[in-house]
Amino acid sequence: MDNTITFTNTQLVTDSMFYFCEKMGSAHGNIEDGVLTARVVGEYSAGKTRVIREILANKIPENFLPISSLEAQTRLQLEISYGQKDELYLIEKSEDCDEAKIINQLTKFPTRAEVIDYSPEDYRLRLLIDEHKFILVKGDGYTDDNQPKKLFLIDTPGWNSGEDTLAEKDAHQYFVGEHNLAIIYVCHANRLDGEINKAKLDNFLEALGEAIFLSGKAHLHIVITHCQKDSQERLSQRMQERVLQQWQALYFEPDKLDLKIKALDFAEMSEKDIQDFRDNFWRDLLDPIGTEKFEFTQSYADQISNWPEHWDIRNTISKQIENIRTMQKVLNLACIDGQFIQNMNMTRLMGLSQENIIERLTERWLKQIEFNNVETLKEMTLCHPLAEEHPLYEWWNKYWLANLSIIYENFNRYIDIVNQTIGAVTPKIDDLQLYLSKNISPEYLKIIGKFSNTSFDLVTQVVEQKMNLLSLERFTATLLKLSVLQSRYEDHYQNQMAKLG
């Protein structure tokens, strides 16, 4: 005797669980781009790229390290953000909010000469690295949902090199983003007092005061490079006074500026000094949006509790179960005292045209099952699809809707059979009740068998009676567990029945 049990139902549920796990796990690999940017700006060779290299030490693979050198170097804006894998692209993108169009994937950071044919106004480089600091756990503060979003740190070409038109443009246009987290202004200690730098700073502050910042306050971080220890305090002080003075001369309110100044000389710093600079830099930068660390090991429960509202399946499920109860009630009322249309007989239909007979009988039938029309009956069996990105997508289709559709099909069959039977009534029929019973009864008995005493019906009863106060993560966990139990039970039951023949 063959004792092999086939676990068809269980297999479907298990497969859909794998899909669920995959989606949950990869939810963070697919973190969306946010709109928030932090731009690093300043004169050519001031040390902008160097600052970026220092704050991302060891995070950027050697071949992708942005070039920092003594000549005017950076030509295209470089957007840096999070990626599961380290990747570098040449992209077409003019404004921060434009969609990025990938032109090329690069294997090595290009020199200035290699990208000289690409206009800095339309092209950028995009470097994605596995650095979680770029993941804003609670979103970028602008996009509606509170899903994690990517922050972009942007290195820009320096002004004053005489080589880049982009960098000579007005600060309003190019050096302040559309949605700013902060602007990092880098200047060389020896060139602090240069006329162009002074004028640029004024131009900046004006742009800064008018730009959109997350907290309604302009966050300006100034880094004075090439500044030896003995001058650090003096130059920081001077810079602070100059900025505040100019800020007020522009009639901006002092409390609308959050200013942080750091004077340093990378060449003189110990590894520990640089580590401190790095830690402080990230803390200050992320301060307005929250420094909460992004953890990949976020539990399923945490992930589910952060799902967008429209992913919550509880209401849909409770509506569906409510409809099943209504269908059961309809089926209970469908046959009263063995009669499918109670107290009707041919005598009461005498003299009516066929059309009127049908109308009359339909009316009486609907009255018996306590419904107004056939359309609302059918509406109860509408399916509710889930978005493909939903981790429960497979489970929903292969388990939940699959089981519901058995119920729905049977219910619709009942309606169709009654409709057809009524539609075929002619004045020639002698015994109406006998006719109805002969045509409806056999199918009806089969149909009601699909509604009660099934293991799926038990699942719906548990949901209905025990689960209505559960949080979404508990609800989801319980429902998945129930589906495993029910599908295993169903497989065993079906095997047992097959054995009994």
Ligand X SMILES: Nc1nc2c(ncn2[C@@H]2O[C@H](COP(=O)(O)OP(=O)(O)OP(=O)(O)O)[C@@H](O)[C@H]2O)c(=O)[nH]1
Give residues in contact with Mg ion (CB under 5 A).
48-49, 73-74
**Nearest distance, CB of residue 33 and ligand X, angstroms:** 24
Nearer to ligand X, 70 or 500 (CB): 70
**Nearest distance, CB of residue 15 and ligand X, angstroms:** 52
User: Burial, 79: exposed, middle or buried (Cβ in 10 Å; 0-12, 13-18, 19+)?
Assistant: buried
Q: Which does 50 bind (CB under 5 to 8 A by kind): Mg ion, ligand X, none?
A: ligand X
Going by the DSSP 8-state scheme, the letter that residue 311 receives in this structure is G
Nearer to ligand X, 74 or 421 (CB): 74
Angle between helical axes of 455-466 and 314-334 (0-180°, round to 10): 120
**Nearest distance, CB of residue 241 and ligand X, angstroms:** 22
Q: Which does 225 bind (CB under 5 to 8 A by kind): ligand X, Mg ion, none?
A: ligand X
Give the separation between CA 317 and CA 332, rounded to whole angstroms: 23
Give the separation between CA 381 and CA 409, rounded to whole angstroms: 8
**Nearest distance, CB of residue 76 and ligand X, angstroms:** 10
Taking alpha carbons only, the member of 61, 64, 59 closest to residue 78 is: 64
Cβ-based neighbours of 184, under 8 Å, separated by 6 or more: 38, 39, 40, 41, 48, 51, 221, 222, 223, 285
Nearer to ligand X, 267 or 469 (CB): 267
Q: Which does 149 bind (CB under 5 to 8 A by kind): ligand X, Mg ion, none?
A: none
For tokens 């319980």, the residue is 478
Helices (H), 310-469: 314-334, 354-368, 374-379, 393-395, 401-423, 432-449, 455-466
Token pair in block for residue 210: 């008018």
Nearer to ligand X, 10 or 74 (CB): 74
Nearer to ligand X, 39 or 48 (CB): 48
Taking alpha carbons only, the member of 51, 66, 68, 38 closest to residue 225 is: 51
Site for ligand X, rule CB under 6 A: 42, 44-50, 68-70, 72-74, 157-158, 186, 225-226, 264-267
| Phi, psi dihedral angles at 97 (to 5 degrees) | -85, -5
* Residue whose Cβ sits closest to ligand X: 158
**Nearest distance, CB of residue 96 and ligand X, angstroms:** 19
Q: Which does 69 bind (CB under 5 to 8 A by kind): Mg ion, ligand X, none?
A: ligand X
Residue 269: CB atoms within 10 Å: 15
**Nearest distance, CB of residue 200 and ligand X, angstroms:** 13
**Nearest distance, CB of residue 230 and ligand X, angstroms:** 15
| Phi, psi dihedral angles at 88 (to 5 degrees) | -125, 135
Q: Which does 491 bind (CB under 5 to 8 A by kind): ligand X, Mg ion, none?
A: none
Q: Which does 70 bind (CB under 5 to 8 A by kind): ligand X, Mg ion, none?
A: ligand X
Nearer to ligand X, 73 or 483 (CB): 73
Nearer to ligand X, 113 or 382 (CB): 113
